[in-house]
Structure 1
Amino acid sequence: MNTQMLHHHRTSSAYSYFTAGCLTPEHPLTNKIRSEATILLISGGKKGEGGHIVISCEKTTAVTLEGPQIIFFPPNACFCIKSERPTEYLSCHFNIENPALAQIDLQQLHRQHTEIETSQFHPLPLRAPLIQFQQLLQHYLNDRHSTRHLHKLKTYELFFLLRHYYAADELARLLAPITGQNLTFKHFVLNHFTEYPSIEDFARMAHLNLDTFKRTFRKEFKQPVHRWLNERKKVNILHDLKYTQLPLQDIATRYRFSSLAYLSTFCKQHLGKSPSEIRKMS
């Protein structure tokens, strides 16, 4: 790997923070295309009941879960989580270069469990130590006892608990989207793919020639870069149309369409309907 790209990637800030809230039928949790990765700890209802949770994540068919769950989403992922009854959650948002994550060997997980589909999300049951972790930290946050130092310590504790209370194959499933052989390259792509208008620009920022960039990309993501980026664009546009109130012109600008007409053509070709029709159906 080119050392310039290595330096560019590792100098990104290694921060983290937690938020807490309650899912209700009227108020689902939708991601705002964060640049951070997200780990969600979802309990049952406020009385400890297991809630029915429906998770929609990008191209994956919606999944219905019951009972306490832990779910991981990589940077810039789109998701929507709905609950049939009040269900508390705790979310940890972190840069995937955060040193707390180094407690888990992502390359070894990938080598030992190459059969796991890395483009899917794989929820796991939330075990007792994680439930206690969630409840205590929610108390701190609700009482407004929140400092940067607390968030840092709790991030290290979260990954400590994951490492010691889940088997390697479970962690390989949970963290599948960020495991791989060339983690520097893969994490660079996941962190920055929304920033560059073309594959050539992307390769240039990675300090790789175009052929090397394409070859490395295919090896890590198992498909050509242009197909992967186009799929991401489709997913993100659909998310913005369904789960945000962004004006159509702003969406066109965000995804570098020169006019609403080009956005409409893209949506009809790849999503089957015009932007207005998609938004109306949502």
Structure 2
Amino acid sequence: MSDQRWTKFTDCSSCKSCQMNVFKYRAYPRGMLIPQARCMQNTIYFLISGKVKVNSEEHPNTIFCSGEFILQPIGSRVEFQIIESCECILYLFERPLNICEDRFHNGEVLAANSYIQPVIMHVCAPLVLFLESMKRYLEDDMLCATFLQAKRSELVYILNCYYPLKELASFYAPIYRYSKSFEYFVMQNYLKVKDVESFAQLGGYSVPTFRRIFKETFGEPAYQWMIKKKCQDIHNDLTTTTQSISEICYKYGFESLANFSHFCRTNFGKSPRLIRNEMIENL
């Protein structure tokens, strides 16, 4: 049977409901090193093909292979070394989705009391079908928020129905432990605030206390860290997404394109348009 290819007739990239950070498809060549970086959201890595060496606190010098998946909690630092060329699907989320009250509560209790150890899960047959379809959808830019939310629910149902609760609790344990920390609060909310004062208020801290705890946790002043993160996120959006420059401008709270352009020239030495054009030329 020939591989019949279908044509997608809609373009959702300019829709307000389009989002690009729930599922991602990635392919990497053999020998590539993805340097250590902090996870900005809880992330499950489903390895469709290939072999990868992971180095993180949760998975120190661990090799996982095609047909396996791992979890890295928000704020964790992880490095990947591609041993064999690989393809993977990433699922990003803030906390596990609750689709069954009793099972969710029992899972939380088990996870809270679980000894945290490296957990590598194996992809079951229904999950294989799900990942194959997600790969195709992502290649076709099926990025509608409503559609991806439905696929998110489907994924959670598959995990809940085809994996034992005790195994899932061990898998999610790093999230439940980490979610009570100051670092988790920062990573979950830094995009929602404009300055240190509002950040402190959101967490119920006095500004001096917030500044002190922040520097003890992250090793640098809160304001400097927030500017650095803003630069990283903006540069990432300009070079790895199809969001328009206007969308990126207003996403990060700039009042005008002129202010956004000034920010980019000050921090990157280039206008946002030039950064975007250089990315396209290097493709």
TM range (shorter): 0.5 to 0.7
Tell me the CA shift for residue 19 of structure 1.
0.9
2:225 to 254, 269, 272: 254
Structure-2 change in CA distance of 1:133 and 1:79 (3 Å): same
Number of corresponding residues: 202
Rg larger for: 2
Tell me the CA shift for residue 133 of structure 1.
0.9
Residue aligned with 2:119, SS: coil
Match of 1:131 in 2: 128
Q: Deviation string for 1:22-48 (max 9, x for gaps)?
A: 132333445753432211111224xxx
CA RMSD of aligned residues (A): 4.3
Q: How many Å separate the matches in 1 of 2:47 and 2:171?
A: 14
Structure-2 change in CA distance of 1:20 and 1:64 (3 Å): same
Output aligned runs, 1:1-282, within 5 Å: 16-29=21-34, 32-45=37-50, 51=51, 53-58=52-57, 61-96=60-95, 101-103=97-99, 107-118=105-116, 121-179=118-176, 188=185, 191-192=188-189, 205-207=202-204, 233=218, 253-254=224-225
Residue aligned with 2:84, SS: coil
Structure-2 change in CA distance of 1:188 and 1:33 (3 Å): same
Tell me the CA shift for residue 163 of structure 1.
0.8
Q: How many Å separate the matches in 2 of 1:229 and 1:129?
A: 45
Tell me the CA shift for residue 254 of structure 1.
3.1
- The answer to which structure, 1 or 2, has the higher relative contact order (CA under 8 A, 6+ apart) is 1
Tell me the CA shift for residue 191 of structure 1.
2.1
Residue aligned with 1:35, SS: coil
Q: How many Å separate the matches in 1 of 2:112 and 2:183?
A: 15
Contact 1:37 1:93 in 2 (8 A): yes
Q: How many Å separate the matches in 2 of 1:182 and 1:65?
A: 25
Q: How many Å separate the matches in 1 of 2:164 and 2:58?
A: 27
Match of 2:270 in 1: none
Q: How many Å separate the matches in 2 of 1:115 and 1:24?
A: 39
Structure-2 change in CA distance of 1:23 and 1:169 (3 Å): farther
Q: How many Å separate the matches in 2 of 1:44 and 1:62?
A: 19
Tell me the CA shift for residue 111 of structure 1.
2.0
Contact 1:107 1:181 in 2 (8 A): no
Contact 1:40 1:70 in 2 (8 A): yes
Contact 1:110 1:180 in 2 (8 A): no
Q: How many Å separate the matches in 1 of 2:32 and 2:91?
A: 19
Letter of the 2:97 partner, please give it: L
Q: How many Å separate the matches in 2 of 1:163 and 1:131?
A: 15
Q: Which runs of 5+ in 1 are unaligned?
A: 1-13, 46-50, 214-224, 238-251, 257-282
Q: Deviation string for 1:184-226 (max 9, x for gaps)?
A: 9996466248999xxxx987643279xxx9xxxxxxxxxxx97
- The range that moved more, 62-71 or 177-186, is 177-186
Q: How many Å separate the matches in 2 of 1:190 and 1:173?
A: 23
TM-score of the superposed pair, with normalisation by structure 1:
0.55
Match of 1:268 in 2: none
TM-score of the superposed pair, with normalisation by structure 2:
0.55
Q: How many Å separate the matches in 2 of 1:55 and 1:26?
A: 13
Structure-2 change in CA distance of 1:57 and 1:129 (3 Å): same
Q: Deviation string for 1:80-139 (max 9, x for gaps)?
A: 22221111100012233xxx7112655422423554234x55221122211211111101
Tell me the CA shift for residue 175 of structure 1.
0.9
Contact 2:39 2:76 in 1 (8 A): yes
